[in-house]
Chain A
Amino acid sequence: MFAEEQHGLIDGHSHDDIKRGERFFKGLLPFNFKGQSCVSCHNLVATDTLNWNPSAMAIAIKYADRDFESFKASIEEPVGNKLTVVHAGINIGEEDLKTVKAYLDNMAMVGPKPIKPSINNLLIFLFFGMLITWALLELIFFRRIKYRIIPVIVLLGSLGYQGKVISEEAIKLGRSQGYAPDQPIKFSHKVHAGENGIDCKYCHHTAESSKSAGIPAMNLCMNCHVLIREGTNSGKFEIAKIVNAVENKEPVEWVRLHNLPDHVFFSHAIHVGVAKLDCQKCHGPVEEMNLMRQNADLSMGWCVNCHRETDVKFKENGYYESFAKMHEEMEIGDLASVKAEDIGANDCMRCHY
């Protein structure tokens, strides 16, 4: 009974196995592999966006349901070219490898360790708060410092800092410019749109006709990936996820980057289909991004100011014939160009209803 409590089984693995596996994985118990360990390539915590190798968690989830043999095969006799190259020379005993699998299985159960919150900024903020308190007390009661200007400067400086933090945070509120989360599949726009020159609208094909540009359905990916099964950077692991998703009918849960607030209604069709704007105008140099990043801050000011600067296809599009008087003015030269703003693009009702 005692033994069982101490070595309680989790999902069929003992604590000891898991601990031992962890040490192997992290290289604390070295095994013969060019001086590296698993963790050198397979991150435990996602930090490096350019690491094309699958993360520990991804591997864990993939192999959680599979038996040890397939796990072992992927390490010792991998199928993919890339994996064959990098995994060449791994030498680890079978029992030890089993503990690694146990460790990974356990990880798939409990999830990655939470990142401890860093409290530096808060500490700085509180420190300035304390400075304010001190300066006030000094000014009112202690009066120990001869040059009164010192506490006054400290007071104003601290208040300024706190004000700055608060206003910056307030502006950032609900914004996420630069947001570039890891995606469940290491999909690179650089590889697809940049290096291979695939047109944006091949995948996001509803951009011209619907409000939504559309995230391509997995069967669209399969148009190409039915043949292309191994990538130059990522090997087979990432592409296998697509195949797996289609075969098992498990939809891929992408993390959304561009989240407009729910009270904003945006239509891709108007901007791409009618105004013929380039995708890059808002989304930035997507063809250069390995990891998709939110380019613009998507603030209301950003929208509104673009409307103030951008010309409408006034003569080209038949719809604008309703604006008869403006056409007349254009004919006689009173009106050089029509900005989006001039036809009411900055009205509330255009986006909020």
Chain B
Amino acid sequence: MTACDVIIEIEQLSLVLPEKQSQKYNLRSVTLTEYTKLNTFLMKTYWRSLEELQDPKALRIQEAREEAKQKSLLYKSEGGNGGNSRRDFLRTLGFSLAAASIVASCKRPVEKAIPYLVKPEDITPGKANYYASSYYDAGDYCSVVIKVRDGRPIKIEGNELSPISQSGTSARVQASILNLYDGARYKGPENLSKKITWGDADIEIPKALKEISEAGGRTVLLTQTVISPSTRKLIQQFMESYPGSEWIQYDANSSSGMLAANMRNFGQRAIPDYRFDKAKVVVSFAADFLGTWLSPVEYTKQYTAARKLDDGQRDMLRHYQIESHLSLTGSNADVRFPVKPSEEAGIILALYNAIAAKTGAEQFSGAESAVDVSSLADELLSAKGKSIVISGSNDENVQLLVNAINKLLGNYGQTVLWDSALLTRQGLDREMTQLNADILAGKLDGLLVWGVNPVYDQANGQELEAAIRKLKLSVSFAERKDETARACQYILPEPNYLESWNDLEPKMGLYSLAQPTIAPLFDSRSVQESLLTWSGTAMTYGDFIKSVWESDYYSKQSDYNDFRLFWNYTLQKGVFETPSSADISYSDEGLSVAVTKLPESQSGTEVVLYESIALGNGKYANNPWLQELPDPIAKISWDNYASVPVAYAEEKGLVNESVITVNGLELPVFIQPGQAKDTIAVALGYGRVYAGKVGDEVGKNMYAYVSEENGSRKYRIDNATVEVVAEATFPLALSQTHHSMEGRPIVRESNLDEYLLKPDAGNELHEEHEKHHATLYKEIEFKGHHWGMAIDLNSCTGCGNCAISCQAENNVQVIGKEQVRNRRIMHWIRVDRYYSGDPANPTVSHQPVMCQHCDNAPCENVCPVAATPHSAEGLNQMAYNRCVGTKYCINNCPYRVRRFNWFQYVNNDKFDYNANNDLGRMVLNPDVTVRSRGVVEKCSMCVQRIQEKKQEAKLGGRMIEDGEIKTACQQSCPGNAIVFGDLKNPESKISKLFKDKRNYHLLEELHTLPSVGYLTKVRNKA
């Protein structure tokens, strides 16, 4: 870096991204034609290189001319300034501290403004557009709205119109925006690492497919569960054009056992629609339905709705969780029983028997239950038709038993519905197992892999890889690098979901559309289009969907009498619902056999392999936001680890970061309160080896230990050999290291019965502190607005969606494992998790903490340079460009919500994440400054959103409506736990919540007068 750069950085307060002039991509709002620039930039970086190869000489001359043109402009622009001599004077002066200011002006870069040639109608520079779309991957479905700013998708919001996700999203959905700008995406079609054109592929592959087909060979299209009706249709077409080809759906984290059981009981290869909002009692056997099980966003919405108390509701769902490792769901349960995984089946059987005994159904003998279930059975029976029993087990027999219990409880048709069955998981494991064996046995000729990664997530991945390499034809449609694609002959990258059309049917009768929000960044083509082309249909996939919708769905509605209107409105709303009903009856086929085949209780150590909240099946391991999201329970990022019970650790003398081996695999230890005795839990989805520079070699791949049992994948290791590796340590990036509240009134809670007697139960202190509210001097009066936020601790499940949503909205930087471990995580909103009670089975509390925007803010008083005063609207402001970084405010914030830029996190090779390349930086929100090294940052209550809505109101000459402004954390919160609004407006929801008896402020005894209120957590223990 030259001296001038240094100074420009100083002068610009280094908030700009210092880039080469030619590639300068201004991330600020006022630039006119970011779209144009963007495309030029991308062409330059990725496409023009082809031309360069073709005619280097011609290009050189052209470049020379370009350069000359640039130069001429540079000189001219200096000439007009009259500052010519000044610049030169400074240029020759060199750099010293005293003359720093002088030198600074030496090289003010010439900024270009390039207007559109022809302005697109729907783009106004500086204004964002929103497009409804849908996210679907690895069984997670979410209806979303994409915020597109100057041609770039930059943020994902939940779609309020969707009956499934209802404006909620999950952390993975929020982070999916960054997948679009992932450097590990394939840039174009390849054949054995050589670039080819789509034309080549369209000739070679159909030829090979035809040859296989004609020779009577076998080709398999291996996909994840496909819920797109149009795609299912065109896959059928494709199968027909190549006889002998097969289509296998495979889910790495499968629900095969459930599907198999439902096929027996109901004849449906589907999963019924669980309605937690209609339930009074939920008993979950290791099903992490708030975190990862089936449709967690939807279930969180329903679950929290069934437990809300602020709208005069006086009844709450009661939640029992029986599980071995403390899951997100378990942490929210009213009653939780830690048991060994192999004991679960016995307990379910006992529960069945207890219920059967009272309902007069057949009882089965079996192993003794580890938990006394009689009272549970009574409670379930008293809530007949208003309860749900679920199990996370992937064992068909267990699921048959669970179905039988639900049947006995009369839940079908009440809380468990078949009319709107869930279609997002359809993979049957035995099909994949067979395919795996066939590939190894050489019984397969062609393999088309789309959206799955068997080389990574099958236990015999390496053998499989070698076998795939030997296939006659192997094609991967991978969007980004993965292990299976590496083994394939052809890589024909599919575009990101934000770049392509799609239609989805996540539930029966519920459809939604996905539309492109940006032109494909790379030379990619949707898989559907390839399949269409290869099956001889010359049609784009977008047109295909339209034709399918015109023929299939247009007739199912009566609102619009023109297909074009129907299509446009549906596209605008993103979702389309038709009433559906299914006439499905239950048959108890196989139950008596199933109970004999239940997994038996084991005596050895059992290892539970669970899906992690952040990474899921590991497909997006290269997404640094997800890698850095602390696990909601363990608060560890950037690794998977062996969760061991407290007692075990004490017995073996283990501490956090010790190392143990599990069946020979070394794993770092994390002592997890609530981990069942004799069990260990390790997350799946880590240990990718070919994911990209962020995701490679992070953690250990536990899929290698996934075995098979009763025809489905078994996420458990029985009788594991566990040994302590003496003296060894492995660093873990914990973002919270102390787990007890130390008796402090931080998370205040009560039980439903107490609350019903006295609404301020558990919150008596609040009134006490209010009484002492006194001040020496006149309080500052807020004239127009006073923004405030209320957080319902009863609704917060701790899922971590808010952290990522905030990260995307506010350009929060990723800092990597080492810095997280140094306790320097940048997340503006964090979810504190406390344990209380018995370490073997603790009570868990989640509490999101962000800047409390105190009216008597301690941080404001101590900043010497006035970088953080209070605004006239009650916000605690942070002017980055004024901050000199004394860190005093950090020290004086009792909540410790202020974050410091310890390093330059943007454009720094030491922090090689998304902000270190042009592509990754495209996700940055142009309305929020990118902070430089040495300044403090913190939650701003999304002031850019406040300003935008205020501007809209002012332009419309109207007052701001309550609920119009939504902060990023609030907008997509699946639990509706966060409410933002104007405290000056007595009618606003926030004003009402602040008067709620449950409302209190964090550390209110310090009289900091926070603008954030918390509503006490009310549990529903018996």
- Please give 6 more A-B residue pairs, beta carbons under 8 A apart, in addition to A61-B68, A122-B90, A322-B985: A57-B68, A120-B85, A166-B99, A206-B125, A209-B127, A215-B113
- Residue contact A122 to B929, C-beta cutoff 8 Å: no
Known contacts being A325-B783, A343-B783, A343-B784, is A255 close to B77, with CB within 8 Å? Answer: yes
- The B106-154 residues at the A interface (CB cut-off 8 A) are 108, 110-119, 124-127
* Contact in complex: B79, A352 (CB < 8 Å): no
Contact residues, A160-216 vs B (CB, 8 A): 165-166, 169-170, 172-174, 176, 178-182, 184, 206, 208-212, 214-216
- Whether B170 is near chain A, meaning CB under 8 Å from some CB there, is no
B812 to chain A, nearest CB (A): 13
With A178-B81, A249-B117, A343-B784 known as contacts, the answer to whether A211 contacts B112 (CB < 8 A) is no
Give the residue of B79, B93, B114, B784 whose beta carbon is less than 8 angstroms from that of A47: B79
Task: For the complex of A and B, list the 3 residue pairs with the smallest distance between their C-beta atoms, beginning with the closest.
Answer: A344-B872, A181-B77, A117-B88
**Does A347 contact B117, Cβ atoms closer than 8 Å?**
no
Which A residue sits closest to B10, measured CB to CB?
Answer: A173
B84 touches A115 (CB 8 A): yes
Measured CA separation A274–B955 after assembly (Å):
6
Inter-chain CA distance A218–B27, complex, in Å, is: 23
Please name all residues of chain B whose beta carbon is closer than 8 Å to the beta carbon of A342 when the two chains form the complex. 783
Q: Are B105 and A174 in contact (CB under 8 A)?
A: yes
Of A17-25, A31-39, A103-111, A146-154, the one touching chain B: A103-111
Q: Which residue of chain B lies nearest to A322 when distances are taken between CB atoms in the complex?
A: B784
How far, in whole Å, are A148 and B102 apart by their CA atoms in the complex? 32
Chain B residues contacting A274 (CB-CB under 8 Å) are: 951, 954-955
| Residues of chain A within 8 A of B12, CB atoms compared | 174, 261-262
What is the minimal beta-carbon distance from A180 to any residue of chain B, in angstroms?
A: 4
Interface residues as binary, A74-116 with B (CB distance below 8 Å gives 1, 0 otherwise): 0000000000000000000000000000000001111110110
The reply to whether A169 and B955 form a contact with Cβ atoms under 8 Å apart is no
Partner of A263, one of B86, B880, B940: B880
**A302 interface residue per 8 A CB criterion:** no
A-B contact pairs, 24 of them (CB 8 A): A110-B64, A111-B71, A112-B68, A114-B71, A115-B79, A166-B99, A180-B81, A181-B76, A206-B125, A211-B29, A218-B118, A246-B117, A254-B114, A255-B73, A255-B77, A262-B26, A262-B28, A267-B947, A316-B957, A317-B954, A318-B957, A320-B784, A344-B871, A352-B880
Contact of A182 among B36, B68, B80 (CB under 8 A): B80
Judged by a CB distance under 8 angstroms, whether B995 is at the interface is: no
- The reply on A217 being an interface residue by CB < 8 A is yes
Q: Tell me, in angstroms, the Cα distance from A180 to B117 when the chains sit together.
A: 24
B275 within 8 A of A: no
Tell me if B579 counts as interface (CB < 8 A to partner A): no
How many interface residues does chain A have, given as a range? Answer: 35 or more
CB of B955 within 8 A of CB of A176, answer no
Do A255 and B110 contact each other (CB < 8 Å), given the known contacts A11-B61, A121-B89, A326-B783?
Answer: yes
B112–A254 touching, CB < 8 Å? yes
**Closest residue on chain A to residue B985 by CB atoms:** A322
Q: Is A240 an interface residue (CB 8 A)?
A: no
- Flag if B65 contacts A261 (CB, 8 Å): no
Q: Indicate if B778 sits at the interface (CB-CB under 8 A).
A: no
Which residues on the A side are within 8 Å of B955 (C-beta)?
208-209, 269, 273-274
> Which residues on A sit within 8 Å (CB–CB) of B88?
117-119, 121-122
A64 and B65 form a contact (CB under 8 A) = yes
Contact residues, B1004-1021 vs A (CB, 8 A): none
Min CB–CB distance B292 → chain A (angstroms): 35
A325 to B71 alpha-carbon distance, docked (Å): 58
Partner of B89, one of A64, A112, A119, A209: A119
Find out whether the CB atom of B113 lies under 8 angstroms from the CB atom of A254: yes
Which residues of chain A come closer than 8 Å to B954, judged between CB atoms? Answer: 270, 273-274, 317, 319
Of the listed residues B72, B955, B958, the one surrounded by the most CB atoms of chain A closer than 10 A to its CB is B72
- Chain A residues positioned under 8 Å from B950 (CB to CB): 319
Contact of A251 with B117 in the complex, beta carbons under 8 Å: yes
Please name all residues of chain A whose beta carbon is closer than 8 Å to the beta carbon of B784 when the two chains form the complex.
Answer: 320, 322-323, 343-344
Given A47, A209, A217, which contacts B116 in the complex, CB threshold below 8 Å?
A: A217
- Residue-by-residue, is A131-159 near B (CB-CB < 8 Å gives 1, otherwise 0)? 00000000000000000000000000000
A260 (CB) vs chain B CBs: closest residue:
B30
